Amino acid sequence: MKHYIGIDIGGMSVKAGIVNEEGKIICKDICQTFPDKHYSVMVKDMYELCVKILSDAGLRFEDISGVGIGCPGTIYAEKGIITFANNLNFHDTPLVDEFKKYWKGDAVYIENDANCAALGEYLFGSGKGSRNCIFITLGTGVGSGFILDGKIFAGKMGAGAEAGHMVIRIDGEKCTCGRRGCWEAYASATALIRDTQKAMAKNPDSLMHKIAAQYGKVNGRVAFDAAKQNDKAAKQVVKRYIKYIGCGVVNLINIFRPDKVLIGGGISNEGDYFIKLIQRYVNRYHYGGKINPRVKVVRASLLNDAGIIGAASLAMNK
Ligand SMILES: [Zn+2]
């Protein structure tokens, strides 16, 4: 059985795991890091984390067939360079070369984290068995990954596949990218919280106030919880939110007509109820109505391990 290492770089921590060729994590660990650290310091920490998990698993360097690294931002995969990662202070950072100063193996690869997660889901998660699939993650922002004919599609220098920044409303809400009306500004958890707060301000009697108080804040669950209890204002928030997500999903379906659309990220924890609402919207509005093939909307299944498994699968797929 072959083994790979998957490294998942996040804003405050780096996770690493040893993953076998069947996509099972056999050992994993995490180390704290800080965005203001110089990248060389972070890479050394990353390497030491790899040494630690190897020793925990009782494996040697020679037992690892490849290392994959997933990182947010624009990644120039062929050159192993992080062109730009907003929250991490990386600009044209030669991460793979730096890592190879310590790790004496050639098979080291890097990709955008959503692209990695898409590949992981395609090989080992709910994307299994499909030829083309699109992965969407609904969190602080809206991330996306495209697997076309079994390969990651990332565009020139890895700067493509940013579906979160397609506009769904001209002159709409301001987006972090500088444009207005981006999908991310409507379909992210951040946007849902903003819309929940607006609805709460307009509806002082809504159940959402009570539920938010129980959570101690307005989070992405408040409107869903209240809607399930038949709160009118909350139902409107959820209905509109599904429309926003559905609009972007249908746009992508009409371009790519994938076999499946996978939905991940914090909001996907709403589960079947939530996925069914998106599926219903998609069935109704996808191009070709009853004539063209329907596209399945499913919940991504690797959950918290998507980062590590996705990064490792990058090395497997080479
Ligand atoms: Zn944008």
3-class SS string, 85-150? EHHHCEEEECHHHHHHCCCCCCCEEEEEHHHHHHHHHHHHCCCCCCCCEEEEEECCCEEEEEEECC
For 301-314, the pLDDT digits (tens) are: 999 999 999 999 99
Q: How far is the CA of 71 from the centre of ligand 1 (A)?
A: 19
Q: How far is the CA of 166 from the centre of ligand 1 (A)?
A: 7
CATH architecture label of 3-124+305-316: 2-Layer Sandwich (3.30)
Which residues are within 8 A (CB) of 74 and not within 5 positions of it... i.e. 6 or more apart? Answer: 82, 83, 84, 85, 112, 157, 158, 159
Q: How far is the CA of 88 from the centre of ligand 1 (A)?
A: 18
- Residue 289: what pLDDT? 87
Q: How far is the CA of 141 from the centre of ligand 1 (A)?
A: 9
With bands split at pLDDT 50, 70 and 90, how would you rate the model's confidence at 89? confident
Q: How far is the CA of 160 from the centre of ligand 1 (A)?
A: 13
Convert 262-299 into a string of H (helix), E (strand) and C (coil).
Answer: EEECHHHHHCHHHHHHHHHHHHHHCCCCCCCCCCEEEE
For 273-304, the pLDDT digits (tens) are: 999 999 999 999 999 988 999 999 999 999 99
Q: How far is the CA of 281 from the centre of ligand 1 (A)?
A: 23
Rounded Cα distance between 97 and 110, Å, is 11
Q: How far is the CA of 34 from the centre of ligand 1 (A)?
A: 25
Q: How far is the CA of 60 from the centre of ligand 1 (A)?
A: 44
| Whole-number percent of the chain with pLDDT over 70 | 100
- Residue 36: what pLDDT? 75
Residue 30 pLDDT > 90: yes
Comparing 3-124+305-316 with 133-299, is the CATH topology the same?
A: yes
Q: How far is the CA of 184 from the centre of ligand 1 (A)?
A: 6
Q: How far is the CA of 174 from the centre of ligand 1 (A)?
A: 8
Residue 33 pLDDT > 90: no
Residue 63 pLDDT > 80: yes
For the chain, how far is it from start to end, CA to CA, in angstroms? Answer: 17
User: Token pair of 183, please?
Assistant: 């999908």
Q: How far is the CA of 115 from the centre of ligand 1 (A)?
A: 18
Rounded Cα distance between 140 and 130, Å, is 28
For 195-253, the pLDDT digits (tens) are: 999 999 999 999 999 999 999 999 999 999 999 999 999 999 999 999 999 999 999 99
- Residue 121: what pLDDT? 98
Q: Collapse the DSSP code of 4 into the 3-class scheme (helix H, G, I; strand E, B; otherwise coil) and give the result.
A: strand
Residue 107 pLDDT > 90: yes
Q: How far is the CA of 104 from the centre of ligand 1 (A)?
A: 39
- Residue 315: what pLDDT? 97
Mean pLDDT over residues 179-189, rounded? 98
| Whole-number percent of the chain with pLDDT over 90 | 94
Mean pLDDT over residues 70-88, rounded? 93
- Residue 12: what pLDDT? 86
With bands split at pLDDT 50, 70 and 90, how would you rate the model's confidence at 61? very high
CATH superfamily of 133-299: ATPase, nucleotide binding domain (3.30.420.40)
Q: How far is the CA of 161 from the centre of ligand 1 (A)?
A: 13
Q: How far is the CA of 91 from the centre of ligand 1 (A)?
A: 20
Residue 79 pLDDT > 80: yes
Q: How far is the CA of 51 from the centre of ligand 1 (A)?
A: 39
With bands split at pLDDT 50, 70 and 90, how would you rate the model's confidence at 34? confident
Strands 81-85 and 90-93: antiparallel
Residue pair 75/158 in contact (Cβ under 8 Å)? The answer is yes
| Annotated domain spans of the chain | 3-124+305-316, 133-299
Which residue type is seen at 293?
Answer: P
Residue pair 36/50 in contact (Cβ under 8 Å)? The answer is no
Residue 40 pLDDT > 90: yes
Q: How far is the CA of 178 from the centre of ligand 1 (A)?
A: 6
Residue 141 pLDDT > 80: yes
Q: How far is the CA of 146 from the centre of ligand 1 (A)?
A: 18
